[in-house]
Amino acid sequence: MRPTVHDIAAAAGVSLATVDRVLNRRPGVRHVTREKVETAIRELGYIRDVAAANLAKGRTYPLVFILPASDNSFMHGLNGEIRQAILRSAAERTDIRTIEVPAFDPAALVAVLEELSQGKPCGVAMVATDAPEVRATVDRLVHAGFPIVTLVSDLTGSLRHHYAGVDNIAAGRTAARLLGRFLGPRKGEIAVLAGSMLVRDHRERLEGFTAVMAEEFPDLAILPVLEGRDDPEIAHMLVADALARNAGIVGVYSLGAGNRGLIRALKEKAVDRTLTVIAHELTTHTRAALIDNTIDAILNQDAGHEVRSAIRVLKAKADGLPMIDAQERIRLDIFLKDNLP
């Protein structure tokens, strides 16, 4: 059963009126009491049910998701979660559509945003390409009253309303600590595979990764980043070439997508399997690679939670309501072969 406001009140030891004030961000609640209620919301996994209110109002929320056109498993999974949200549209009073743009192409993203500004969607969720022209367009649309949420990759410094994704600096730091601990006293070089430094999530993961490596594992040298543009074929070529050219590589960190190509390159080198490999996103391919020891650990974000969070925030912004911070926090999961879901 889904938890209710009664469950929150019981867990926090407060009245229903206090829970209502916290949920609706009204004044009159002490800080310590507010924290108790938000902790209960988080621990119970409470999800605010707005479907009944929407039905009573007879309102439908037209929402647009802008995604990169990319042949990588995570984006396929994200698309799948959006399709599931579309199936729930009747109950949730939403009208959702997706638009694909070329990956890592700021001009294409700006063109789509400009076109959408001529209509009146209740909100836009987008995987952001971090470029000045994108930031300027987002700021202009927000000033014009368009709710905008960034999804997976943020646009820090813009006026976007919310970011539905993990803390990518923390993710990079976590990957570095795992890799360094797994390698122990070994010395050598670390190959890093990214999609593109044009997206902030990849830059932030690299920032966190290099910081921990420099601070705690100085005997492990990071090689120049390989930018595979989240394309499995390009990733395969780059990783295979790096492994052939650098006999001192002892570890690989794949901070983006293109993991099918990475896995193929690693399997081709399986005759002397001595590499420690950390990658992102649990997909069919990375799961199999984790099970057969091609990859040692996977850092994962819940695409379904991100899509649901983006929808909740956009609807709340369209209604002028506050969001519940604890409900929208996206967790970073760490999977080894021993704890796969």
pLDDT for 273? 64
The stretch 96-117 carries a mean pLDDT of 95
- β strands within the chain, DSSP E: 61-69, 94-102, 123-126, 148-151, 162-164, 188-194, 220-222, 226-227, 249-254, 276-280, 297-301, 332-335
Tell me how far CA of residue 37 lies from CA of 10, 30, 297, 301, in angstroms: 10, 11, 35, 25
| The token pair that represents 148 in the structure block | 């905008």
| The token pair that represents 160 in the structure block | 């976007």
175 pLDDT higher than 90: yes
Q: Tell me the backbone φ, ψ of residue 30, rounded to 5 degrees.
A: -65, 150
Binned at pLDDT 50, 70 and 90, residue 72 comes out as confident
pLDDT for 57? 54
5 pLDDT higher than 90: no
Q: At what angle do helices 284-291 and 259-268 cross, to 10 degrees?
A: 30
With a CB cutoff of 8 Å and minimum separation 6, the contacts of 298 are 278, 279, 280, 281, 282, 286, 287, 290, 334, 335, 336
Tell me how far CA of residue 323 lies from CA of 25, 57, 278, 304, 320, in angstroms: 8, 19, 34, 18, 10
pLDDT digits (tens, 9 = 90+) for 304-322: 999 999 999 999 888 887 8
pLDDT for 52? 53
pLDDT for 157? 93
59: closest CA among 307, 320, 322, 318? 318
Residues of the chain above pLDDT 90, percent: 76
* Residues paired with 189 in a beta bridge: 221, 249
| The token pair that represents 139 in the structure block | 């700021």
pLDDT for 293? 94
Burial zone of 340 (CB within 10 Å; 0-12 exposed, 13-18 middle, 19+ buried): exposed
pLDDT for 50? 53
pLDDT for 209? 98
For 195-204, 256-265, 322-331, which range has the lowest pLDDT when averaged over its residues? 322-331
Sign of CA dihedral 135, 136, 142, 146: negative
Q: Please report, as a single letter, which amino acid is at residue 177.
A: R
CB 309 within 8 A of CB 328: yes
Q: Please report, as a single letter, which amino acid is at residue 128.
A: A
pLDDT for 215? 97
pLDDT digits (tens, 9 = 90+) for 241-259: 999 999 999 999 999 988 9
The stretch 287-310 carries a mean pLDDT of 96
| The token pair that represents 116 in the structure block | 């959408």
108 pLDDT higher than 60: yes
pLDDT for 85? 96
* Residues paired with 254 in a beta bridge: 193, 279
pLDDT for 298? 98
With a CB cutoff of 8 Å and minimum separation 6, the contacts of 115 are none
CB 195 within 8 A of CB 253: no
Q: What's the CA gap between 25 and 38, in Å, rounded?
A: 11
pLDDT for 4? 84
With a CB cutoff of 8 Å and minimum separation 6, the contacts of 111 are 101
For 55-64, 128-137, 253-262, 304-313, which range has the lowest pLDDT when averaged over its residues? 55-64
